[in-house]
């Protein structure tokens, strides 16, 4: 049931106040959602009350306009509707007026130029078009015109007005006139001249500035266009990183937005609609991966759409956009046909490990060859996630004294210091004797670089190279184990639990080795010692290939 509130609603996580109002039944089809949720852009409860009253009046007016259907817009009404943009624009740049570079006052009076009669029949029209295309001022003017049209659409949407194309253009021209006056006032302020904002800029907006069509934070940073989808992800990440979100999450979300930009053909966050997100979802469901398989519905739901919902939701809560276009878009959950267990069979494990052992260096990077040669073996005896092993450093392996093992034990430390660890907690996994016999410690100690299996990029980052190595490992495994019922890398993790359980290792020790969270409060008490972990690893049988 949609929420009906007569007072500001405080978001439980962000503390920002909102106007929330159920959409009347007769407007559901036109509005396209069951509830209006409008950010008031403040955490101050006193200020929120005044903004809530203004926003509620505006919302009621919008609904009244929608009930009236199509309307006509006079030039006077268009200028009155666009007037609040003037004060808002001036406020963005009043402190540093010289930094305003988007709106060019030398072009502001000449937008939407009209061609003279017979222009297209000129003998040299082709040369004129080529010359025009090379003129940078033409591109700047087009950007300004597009911006004004988008602001006009946003204003009409906020008021619930439905007008024809002529009146839409009329409002866009009114927006341009307001922007021109405000920008000229900024030029005067830049020269140190006194500017009477109250007279020059008409009126201040009655609506909360956080609900304006263009995000104040981006304009304050002198963005040449309304906020881009790419910039939106990066703005989200600047905050998410400080809350402990993993770099892999950033990469996954950024990838989803790159796919969206490529699909839409533009990078403007304010132009994205719910219909666009639905079309993108359908496009992704029909897309194929590099191996020719269709992208799974799970990937579209839990990766692509999850990323869009999270970032757009953050942008809405922080006043960057006026609605979350991904809200409510999902993929129906279908029952998955299971024809086999998810772990490798004993024969599949032997086949893959035999291929890894017999592999000879090719034209690929030495680190990629080493990954294919060693990582399957390490996964088989640690139950680790493939990324946790692929990002290993030389210092992550050490020899440790353990009671009952006089010659010491090689211990692998899986730690967030090396990269992404899902639980964000370091853990220690002793090496199985077969890994020692195969020479894994000698390989680690003989490494030249810090990273064993990846080469960081020019900025020293590992997210991209790490994903590349994981992809190569997946392709390598799939070449030898073709059954789609198993995951090329993750099935080692399933097999490890099965083998360890058969060897008599207790569940809490398996969880500690694999980095699984405790299932109950009681299991969170105490810890699994290095000796208990070593005893468990020593129980695992050798794998003869």
Measured CA to CA, the distance from residue 201 to residue 284 in angstroms comes to 46
Q: Are residues 136 and 277 in the same domain?
A: no
Q: Are residues 320 and 391 in the same domain?
A: no
Provide the pLDDT for residue 410. Answer: 97
Measured CA to CA, the distance from residue 426 to residue 174 in angstroms comes to 60
Last residue of a domain, one of 192, 224, 256: 224
Q: Are residues 104 and 215 in the same domain?
A: yes
Q: Are residues 510 and 472 in the same domain?
A: yes
Q: Are residues 306 and 367 in the same domain?
A: no
Q: Are residues 173 and 231 in the same domain?
A: no
Provide the pLDDT for residue 521. Answer: 63
Q: pLDDT truncated to tens, each residue of the chain (545 aa)?
A: 444 557 888 888 888 888 888 888 877 776 677 888 888 878 888 888 888 887 887 777 767 766 665 556 788 888 888 888 888 788 777 778 887 878 888 888 888 875 555 544 555 555 554 455 555 577 788 888 888 888 888 888 777 677 777 788 889 999 999 989 988 888 888 887 766 544 333 333 333 333 333 433 333 333 333 578 888 899 899 888 888 788 788 889 999 999 999 999 888 888 888 999 999 999 999 998 877 888 989 899 999 999 999 999 998 888 788 788 998 899 987 667 777 888 999 999 999 999 999 999 888 899 999 999 999 999 999 999 999 999 999 999 999 999 999 999 999 999 999 998 888 899 999 999 999 999 999 999 998 889 999 999 888 888 889 989 999 999 999 999 999 889 888 999 999 999 999 999 999 999 999 998 776 666 667 789 999 999 999 999 999 98
Q: Is residue 402 part of a domain?
A: yes
Give residue 472's region: left, alpha or beta (phi > 0; psi -120 to 50). alpha
Last residue of a domain, one of 288, 305, 335: 335
Q: Are residues 380 and 489 in the same domain?
A: yes
Instruction: Give me the domain span that covers residue 19.
Output: 1-69
Q: Are residues 246 and 216 in the same domain?
A: no
Provide the pLDDT for residue 439. Answer: 96
Last residue of a domain, one of 335, 358, 378: 335
Measured CA to CA, the distance from residue 168 to residue 139 in angstroms comes to 22
Provide the pLDDT for residue 437. Answer: 96
Looking at residue 241, what DSSP letter applies? Answer: G
CA dihedral 277, 282, 283, 286 (to 10 degrees): 160
Provide the pLDDT for residue 504. Answer: 96
Domain containing residue 420: CATH number: 1.10.443.10
DSSP character string of 344-409: PPHHHHHHHHHHHHH----SS-HHHHHHHHHHHHHHHHH---HHHHHT-BGGGEEEEEETTEEEEE
Q: Are residues 76 and 167 in the same domain?
A: yes
Measured CA to CA, the distance from residue 418 to residue 395 in angstroms comes to 10
Measured CA to CA, the distance from residue 485 to residue 499 in angstroms comes to 19
- Tell me how many domains the chain contains: 4
Q: Identify the CA nearest to 506 among candidates 524, 530, 525, 533.
A: 533
């Amino acid at each position: 049931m949609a929420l009906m509130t007569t007072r500001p609603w405080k978001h439980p996580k962000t503390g920002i106040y909102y106007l929330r109002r159920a959409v009347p039944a007769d407007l559901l089809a036109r509005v396209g959602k069951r509830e209006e949720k409008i950010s008031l852009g403040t955490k101050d409860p006193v200020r929120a009350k005044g903004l809530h009253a203004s926003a509620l009046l505006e919302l009621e007016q919008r609904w009244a306009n929608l009930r009236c259907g199509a309307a006509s817009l006079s030039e006077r009404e268009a200028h009155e509707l666009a007037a609040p943009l003037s004060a808002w624009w001036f406020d963005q740049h009043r402190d540093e007026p010289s930094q305003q570079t988007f709106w060019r006052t030398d072009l502001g009076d000449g937008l939407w130029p009209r061609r003279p009669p017979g222009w297209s029949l000129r003998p040299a029209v082709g040369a004129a078009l080529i010359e025009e295309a090379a003129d940078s001022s033409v591109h700047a003017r087009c950007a300004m015109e597009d911006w004004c049209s988008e602001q006009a659409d946003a204003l009409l949407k906020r008021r619930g007005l439905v007008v024809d194309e002529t009146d839409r253009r009329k409002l866009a021209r009114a927006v341009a006139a307001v922007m021109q006056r405000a920008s000229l006032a900024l030029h005067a302020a830049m020269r140190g001249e006194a500017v009477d904002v109250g007279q020059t800029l008409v009126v201040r907006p009655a609506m909360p500035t956080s609900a304006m069509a263009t995000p104040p934070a981006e304009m304050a940073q002198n963005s040449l266009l309304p906020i881009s989808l790419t910039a939106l992800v990066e703005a989200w990440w600047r905050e998410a990183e400080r809350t402990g979100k993993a770099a892999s999450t950033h990469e996954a979300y950024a990838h989803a937005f790159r796919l969206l930009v490529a699909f839409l053909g533009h990078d403007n966050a304010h132009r994205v609609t719910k219909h666009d997100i639905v079309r993108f979802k359908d496009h992704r469901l029909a897309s194929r991966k590099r191996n020719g398989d269709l992208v799974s519905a799970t990937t579209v739901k839990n990766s692509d759409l999850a990323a869009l919902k999270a970032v757009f939701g953050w942008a809405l809560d922080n006043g960057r956009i006026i609605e979350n276009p991904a809200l409510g878009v999902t993929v129906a959950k279908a029952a998955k046909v299971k024809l086999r267990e998810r772990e490798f069979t004993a024969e599949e494990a032997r086949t893959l490990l035999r291929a890894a052992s017999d592999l000879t260096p090719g034209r690929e990077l030495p680190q990629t060859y080493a990954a294919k040669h060693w990582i399957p073996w390490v996964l088989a005896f640690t139950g680790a996630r493939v990324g946790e092993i692929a990002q290993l450093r030389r210092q992550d392996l050490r020899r440790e004294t353990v009671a009952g093992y006089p010659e010491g034990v090689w211990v692998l430390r899986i730690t967030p210091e090396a990269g992404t660890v899902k639980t964000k907690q370091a853990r220690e996994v002793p090496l199985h004797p077969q890994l020692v016999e195969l020479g894994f410690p000698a390989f680690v100690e003989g490494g030249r670089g810090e990273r064993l299996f990846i080469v960081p990029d020019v900025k020293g980052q590992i997210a991209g190279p790490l994903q590349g190595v994981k992809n190569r490992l997946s392709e390598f495994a799939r070449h030898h184990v073709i059954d789609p019922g198993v995951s090329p890398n993750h099935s080692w993790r399933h097999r490890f639990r099965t083998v360890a359980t058969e060897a008599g290792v207790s569940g809490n020790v398996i969880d500690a080795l694999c980095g699984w969270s405790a299932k109950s409060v009681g299991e969170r008490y105490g810890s699994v010692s290095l000796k208990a972990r070593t005893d468990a690893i020593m129980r695992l049988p050798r794998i003869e290939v």
